[in-house]
A and B are shown apart, each in its own frame.
Chain A
């Protein structure tokens, strides 16, 4: 087997009982923030797509994994130990920001759960980017990576309790705080949220060309 896409697992950080960050050696892997990789344990024929969580200037690569009930790969990866080899394919995907917009445009990032990963990568790759991020979660402890965002630009929307910055779903927040039509909106997470937000943004006169979505499934 060719070993040109094998990466060392450097660490595994458990954020909650079911969410964790895998940090791996980068080995020169070039990617654009927002892209994803196919990740599996070395020697396994099973892999899954995961958005890259780390910034493109880091010398490692991170992914944020949410363990899937009855899942296969997310459970295998959770048991991994530092030093193990991981197999990476990619990077892949088109959920990226056009370079000419990074310093000029206004961005709204809307995520549910582990859909925060590409936005974490955006924020860490482009320090000067003008953004606001809405993170839809059930409870405050699921605010993955909150500390890595500018506190004034990150809003957690908790639907299960009042521990977040806003109590309610991201759709409720958007209804109460309309989006300006010049915003470039990036949506990542489960498709029910994406569909509802897509409709809301259209109603608020955001042009569909300025709405980008990455559906998690």
Chain B
């Protein structure tokens, strides 16, 4: 039996998808890219933009039409707003928060697909799902499906992140042999007005540091080279446990100590931190340990205090400036990435110009610049989206030009240097491989040796473009390698 799974959205959803794959594989399903071959069809939804939600509606509409000629089970999970949840309940057979993933075999088995995993689950009391089954149809099956969806509003928890611990216990099915995510936290307490995550993923919940360290050790032993700690606000890690869990700097320190002892070469990243909770402890610990990558992604969103207030970001530009100053002082070799939204509700020319000036001041290596669009469910969706599209586009181009100016300046300084890089795959340019430096600068070099993919090599840089660099494999006897 086969399943077809569509994953929309961010790295967190991709990471979640790896765990969904595990559960379905354990049930005996194999994955297919062709939805026509599948008997189980699922979506890991994203609510960040309306477009992503529209995709879910388009897909379920097609799948429900397919049900006229084939028996299918459909499910949706991931980031779902309460309002969409209610609609999805009428469209999908199964709607469940990610924290209920371990119960998926039981849910599917109640539809009549018998698998070993499902049989095992049938003997377990699951209060959260029993009432719906008994109310609506005591003997549902794939050939006589339930007339209403399995899940109902009573079972959709007010806090969708609750019980996330049982989800983290599911071992992920990794899609790469050398790059991997480790979720360390779920949910968000910050309530930025442009973002719906607090309403889709619930409150911040930190994963046990013992579990995180176990997973990290296992992954390093297996040879993973690039490990990213994931969370909506990673640097508030542990704070929800009120003293019963270590803090984020301490977690990084433990990882650093393990890195020193392991004798293995690997880089650990984290994304994304919130400026409010960023402090010198985090920056200092990164500077001390080799395995903690010297790359920091610090979302700025706007360079204007008024816009930051409207975004409910809970930090000022002064605070942001202090953090960047600390990064430059303690880790001068670190690359700095950011996120920016242009054209947020009410953003004036003057306020935008402050963002442009901040771009110039901080000289980011990379900026993910988004033109503001209303995100359904976010607080700002109640405000008029009053900056014209053309203005947003123009501001986007101004910032892109600013970014390019600084990144090319930085990249030019790398010419002639030999950098350690992790080879990720074939480049679009024929005959070349693509890699990333520790600071996540894209590098291409001439080689078709597929054995290099997933390994560290040294590259001597020869050319620079605004957002990438090019070089050649260094001689075997490289005496000095610098970190960038």
Binds A, one of B32-40, B57-65, B303-311: B303-311
Contact A2 B203 (CB under 8 A): no
* Bound CA–CA A92/B383 (angstroms): 23
Query: How far apart are A116's CB and chain B's nearest CB, in angstroms?
Result: 19
A46 at the interface (CB under 8 A from B): yes
* B82 / chain A contacts, CB cutoff of 8 Å: 45-46
Residue B314 interfacial (CB < 8 Å): yes
CB–CB A1/B305 < 8 A: no
A94 at the binding interface (Cβ < 8 Å): yes
Residues B158 and A194 in contact, CB atoms below 8 Å apart: no
Give the contact stretch, choosing among A11-19, A129-137, A208-216.
A208-216
CB distance from B245 to the nearest CB of A (A): 18
Contact at B314–A2, with CB atoms within 8 Å?
Answer: no
Mask: chain B, 187-218; 1 = CB below 8 Å from A; 0 = not = 00101010000000011000000000000000
Given that A92-B203, A94-B276 are known contacts, is A45 also in contact with B153, CB under 8 Å in the complex?
Answer: yes
Number of A-B contacts (CB under 8 A): 59
Interface residues of B in 288-316 (CB under 8 A from A): 305-306, 309-310, 312, 314, 316
Interface assignment of A40: CB less than 8 Å from any CB of chain B: yes
Q: How far is the CA of A106 from the CA of B124 in the complex (A)?
A: 60
Taking a contact as CB atoms under 8 Å apart, the answer to whether A40 and B191 are in contact is: no
Interface residues of A in 188-217 (CB under 8 A from B): 191, 194-195, 198, 208-209, 213, 215, 217
Contact A89 B310 (CB under 8 A): no
Contact A89 B305, CB 8 Å, known A43-B154, A208-B318, A209-B318: no
With a CB–CB cut-off of 8 A, which chain A residues contact B276? 94
B434 at the interface (CB under 8 A from A): no
Q: Are B379 and A217 closer than 8 Å at their CB atoms? A: yes
- Is B316 touching A217 in the complex (CB atoms < 8 A)? no
The CA of A45 and the CA of B155, in the complex, are separated in Å by 9
Nearest to A94 among chain B residues (CB) is B314
Contact assessment for A47 and B193 in the assembled complex, using a CB-CB cutoff below 8 Å? no
- A45-B85, A213-B309 as given contacts; A92 in contact with B156, CB under 8 Å: no
**A89 adjacent to B159 (CB under 8 Å):** yes
Chain A residues within an 8 Å CB radius of B191 = 49, 92-93
Asked if A87 is an interface residue, CB under 8 A from chain B, the answer is yes
A1 B157 Cβ-Cβ under 8 A: yes
Indicate whether B86 reaches chain A with its CB closer than 8 angstroms.
yes
- A89's partner among B153, B155, B193, B203 (CB-CB below 8 A) is B203
- 28 of the cross-chain contacts (CB-CB < 8 Å) are A1-B154, A5-B158, A38-B158, A40-B158, A44-B153, A45-B82, A87-B158, A89-B158, A89-B202, A92-B191, A92-B203, A93-B191, A94-B314, A195-B309, A195-B310, A198-B305, A198-B306, A198-B309, A209-B316, A209-B318, A215-B193, A215-B309, A215-B310, A215-B312, A217-B193, A217-B379, A217-B382, A217-B383
Report B's interface with A, CB cutoff 8 A.
82, 85-86, 128, 153-159, 162, 189, 191, 193, 202-203, 276, 305-306, 309-310, 312, 314, 316, 318, 346, 379-380, 382-383
